[in-house]
Structure 1
């Protein structure tokens, strides 16, 4: 479409002809002066083309631009609504966390079987299991103590070895938006950043019972039933600190250190006040 020298009429300035135009502006020569207008918007309000063929082509351009503008407007509105909803959810979450009293035992240690281990380090989530009896029998367990300050500790032992030799295989902070009492499916997803898998050699140096103890039977190492236990926030800090010292790879060591510091901030633990591990293995 070529509009150069095409005749136009302006409601105020009268007749004129197109001198120059581009994607955003058009210059018209009138009897006494040249005037610039927004292109093609001015043709929908102030200018009229005399050439019918050019006018039809221009109308299509205007319609296309209006559709594009409407689409941009709609996308902006959708984005605004999305941000508004996110802000509302964030405020609700912050309110819940502000009112949440930090439980001294808000960490979870899991007994992972072979089938679960085959996917837990790829899907980065763990299942709490189902309720065994009562009115809610068959429904997933709700990890009610779990908030964004919580960690899931993944452990395992071969059936041929004693319970005291249970090893820590990996660890992750729960997803930052996770609130256990609202969990309906029993799955606890991992934080996008704070997650660590130990090598076989590292796991051999991380026995669970070095840290964990049943205070009612401090010299006894037995799991009995169930696939998870809540345990002390301080014990988890001890575990994370030891993982930092185990890591030799620079990148993994940095991640482990950041993980440890993040955990301590959320759980209000001071590294310099952290006691030495005193689990059941240390009391033999």
Structure 2
């Protein structure tokens, strides 16, 4: 829009002619002096165009800019609210991390079906499932015991074989700074480093019930419902120690050793004091 040579009236300086303007500044000649103003903000309360057609066009420009201004203000306000929310979440997260009390059974064993077996060992995450009843029916389960000291054991059992033959497929530490209490989507992702996959031959040697025992039914190897169970921190240490002993390839063995050391440090377990496995299969 070209407003040069258009007549205007200013509340204070009177009548004048526009001698130049750009997207942010307008220059007006009043008698023997020239003044610069912010464009188009000066129009409306302080400055009025004599040309009605030009004034109408300018009003549309001003309205458009006002809409853009409000949009930018809204975006800034939302960004500020988001930053405050993120800051609050970080503070709550830091508080949970600082005040965490080590639970003696904060490890998870997960029952993988055929599809989950492939995805868990490639995507390195599992889904805790959904709540079956009550007010929260249909919502994801929160793995409330899992914390930065927790590992997830991936297992499977062939439908044609007994439960006692459940094999260990792999294991991973939960993602750095993961807190199960605030996990809303039920997804349990893996640590960026500490994750181990077993070969078929290794899995056949690593039977879950060698380590696990249900204290209520110490002679039984039964898993009737649920996708996961929590179990003892010491049992997970036993499993990791056996994986270390079993791994022959240098790089994988080194990772397994680091995994075990990291796990024991977080769970306050002395590696040299890890007892021999004493699960159901060892008591038969």
Which TM-score tier does this pair reach, normalised by the shorter chain? 0.5 to 0.7
* Aligned ranges 1:194-273 → 2 under 5 Å: 194-273=194-273
For residues 87-236 of structure 1, the aligned pairs below 5 Å read 93-236=93-236
Deviation at 1:87, TM superposition (A): 9.6
Is the partner of 1:282 in helix, strand or coil? helix
Q: What is the deviation of 1:93?
A: 4.0
List, as ranges, runs of 4+ consecutive aligned residues in structure 1 with deviation greater than 3 Å. Answer: 85-95
Following superposition, the deviation at residue 97 of structure 1 comes to: 2.1
CA–CA distance in structure 1, aligned partners of residues 255 and 92 of structure 2:
30
Q: Is the 8 A contact 2:97 2:177 kept in 1?
A: no
Aligned partners of 2:92 and 2:115: how far apart in 1? 37
For 2:101 and 2:113, locate their aligned partners in 1 and report how far apart those are by CA, in whole Å: 33
2:51 corresponding residue in structure 1: none
Q: Unmatched 5+ residue regions in structure 2?
A: 1-84
Deviation of residue 183 (structure 1)? Answer: 0.6
Moved more, 116-125 or 206-215: 116-125
Q: Report the Cα distance in structure 1 between the residues aligned to 2:133 and 2:216, rounded to whole angstroms.
A: 25
Pairwise CA RMSD of aligned residues?
1.9
How far has the Cα of 1:119 moved from its partner? 1.1
Distance 1:164 1:123, change over 3 A: same
* Residue 274 of structure 1: aligned partner: 274
Aligned to 1:73: none
Provide the rounded CA distance (Å) in 1 between the counterparts of 2:115 and 2:245.
30
1:52-63 aligned within 5 A: none
TM superposition shift of 1:95: 3.3
Alignment of 1:37-52 (within 5 A): none
CA separation of 1:87 and 1:238: change in aligned 2, threshold 3 A: farther
**Structure 1 position 271, deviation (Å):** 1.2
Partners of 2:227 and 2:269 in 1: CA distance: 27
Is contact 2:127-2:186 (8 Å) kept? yes
Q: Distance in 2 between matches of 1:238 and 1:94?
A: 30
Deviations 1:108-160 (A, max 9, x none): 00000001112111111001011111111111100000100000000001100
Aligned residues: 201
TM-score norm. by structure 1 comes to: 0.68
Q: Flag the 1:251–1:222 CA change in 2: closer, same or farther, 3 A.
A: same
Partner SS state of residue 195, structure 1: strand
